[in-house]
Structure 1
Amino acid sequence: MTGGTGGLGVVVARHAVQRWGMRDLVLVSPSVVPEAEGIGEVIAELEEAGARVRVAACDVSDRAAVHDLIDGIRSRRRSGRGRGPRCRCPGRRCGDRV
């Protein structure tokens, strides 16, 4: 979820977990500051609701950076550390698992 550590991103992340039942979230921000305002509490809240949450830094205007992010998610899935969502990235086959 791009903008996932910002105010609106947090609202959407909560909604995705509480209403849509999403269980695997990657909150993406151009730069991740560990002490970003309240992000620790948000992660704890989402995890308490049953979601697995990862926060990642990625400039989504940089196609190569986005592909690296997706590849990292994909490798976590292969290693058994997560099941990723279906890819919606331009240039990938629609429906690829990440």
Structure 2
Amino acid sequence: MTAAEELAAVLHWRSKHAVAIKERDALQQRLTAADERADVLERDEARIDWLTEQAVDTLYLDDGRIIDIAGRVDLRDAIDAAMAAPRAFEDRSDD
């Protein structure tokens, strides 16, 4: 193998290594972001479970809606209902 061929091989594998490092770093960023989202979801789930255990009967939302959840088995059902309900205060800036 000549010096030129060795240099070409080194440059080839150095380039492959650089690409692999970039891909690894990108995957690590995606994994970190997914871990952070999972942490947020776990905290939210713990909050919902706590509220469900407290036998809360009514939720007062920031937009003025009041959601009666008495008798619901799971607070998640109440949240789904609240999200599907029309908002009490619509944006009337175009009036």
> TM-score, normalising length from structure 2?
0.24
> TM-score, normalising length from structure 1?
0.23
Give the structure, 1 or 2, with the largest relative contact order (CA under 8 Å, sep 6 or more): 1
Q: Which entry has the higher C-alpha Rg, 1 or 2?
A: 2
More strand as a share of residues: 1
